[in-house]
Copies of this chain bind each other. A is one copy, B any other.
Amino acid sequence: MLLSLYNADEPLTIGILGGGQLAKMTAQAAYRMGLRVAIIEHGANSPAGAMTKIDFPEGWNSPEALEQFIEASDIVTLENEFIDVAILERIAERRPVFPTPETMRLAQDKLIQKTTMANAGIPVPRFARIDTVEQGYEFGATHNYPFVMKTRTHGYDGYGNMTVKRDNNVLVAFKKFTSDPDAPREVMAEEFITFRKELAVIVARNRRGEVVLYPCVETVQENHICRWVLAPALIEARLQKKAQEIALAAVEAVKGVGIFGVEMFLTENDEILFNEIAPRPHNSGHYSIEGCYTSQFENHIRAVCNLPLGSGELITSATVMLNLLGVRPGSGVPDTIVGLLQNPRVSLHLYGKKDSRMGRKMGHLTAIGNSVEDAQERLIKAEQDLVW
């Protein structure tokens, strides 16, 4: 199904809500298959918006822009999981939307997300809704300190999380999120997991329920932001398999269609606990572009178009990805990449963001190789040669 259903003789147009790097890489995959791409985002010159004429920089909160975006698109998907579900439902009255509004209702709010997983029998950290500061004290008393206070929506890269170390921190944490003058948010609490490793599995699931499970990888965070992804995770095969099973169950629990990033904790007791699910392409899957037979972005397109999914297997023994994070504010363009590119076997991705800031995801580097260690060493060396 590669012709538009709505605009005779035109190629199928994938409409993506959001224009950042995830949309950019999804758009790349769409173009490779001869499709067209429509982007709606708040702001001109987004990384994905630059790659298409069918661009709506007024964003989905503009009724006119949303209308034109719907008209231009055949199948709609997203790169940003915080879109108001009401907007997705409005689109879904007229166009296929994947992931569906139903999936988004189950996934967007971390409390509902966790509850859904727990109800499906998926192992999760202990958690509770926290509507009053008293409930916060109660959680700490029951499950010990430290625990994690989280906003139920709009958290990412550590924003929206706070570790509550003792009872006299509960009030501060609670107020920080619930009384934020710009964006007051509801919160929840979770037990603090002392993990041995953080794991992730990308899952693709198409409209027929066919599934591809990507390898279990290890993610390494620095300052709450993903820095490294090591594929495969250096854990026993049975644990890798367990992680994949949990990831699959998580996607099925939200009736997911599209591409999903499922994050998990590996505890000191070798237990695997569900952490979070992102109903979109995920940072932990960028390694798949060079590393796997089919990238997460291509399988994203195939899944929402209900096409057969491609193999998510690794091509070589190991693939490692290193995020290139902003080291200073200012220009989003590096001073020079000449030194970096003198490393001949690394793949450079720069997202084309105009402005940098500390910790901002500006691009990534990927190396494929015979071992995680070998690939990681090459990336460390290459990044040292990059001058921002």
Contact = CB atoms under 8 A, between A and B. Distances in A.
Interface in A331-346: 331-334, 336-338, 341-342, 344-345
A50 interface: yes
A2 B350 contact: yes
29 contacts: A2-B333, A2-B337, A9-B331, A11-B333, A11-B352, A28-B28, A28-B31, A28-B32, A31-B50, A32-B348, A32-B350, A33-B349, A34-B332, A34-B333, A34-B350, A34-B352, A36-B352, A51-B52, A293-B344, A293-B347, A302-B341, A307-B341, A308-B341, A308-B342, A309-B341, A309-B344, A310-B344, A311-B345, A316-B316
A53 interface: yes
A345 B2 contact: no
Given A338-B307, A338-B308, A363 B34 contact: yes
Given A11-B333, A308-B338, A350 B53 contact: no
Could you tell me the dominant secondary structure of chain A's interface residues? loop
A3 interface: yes
A335 to B, nearest CB: 9
Q: Which of A9, A313, A334, A352 has the most CB of B within 10 A?
A: A352
B51 A31 contact: yes
A35 interface: yes
Q: Count this chain's copies in the assembly.
A: 2
Nearest to A24: B31
A117 to B, nearest CB: 29
A315 interface: yes
Nearest to A350: B34
Given A11-B352, A310-B344, A368-B315, A3 B331 contact: yes
A20 to B, nearest CB: 13
A387 to B, nearest CB: 11
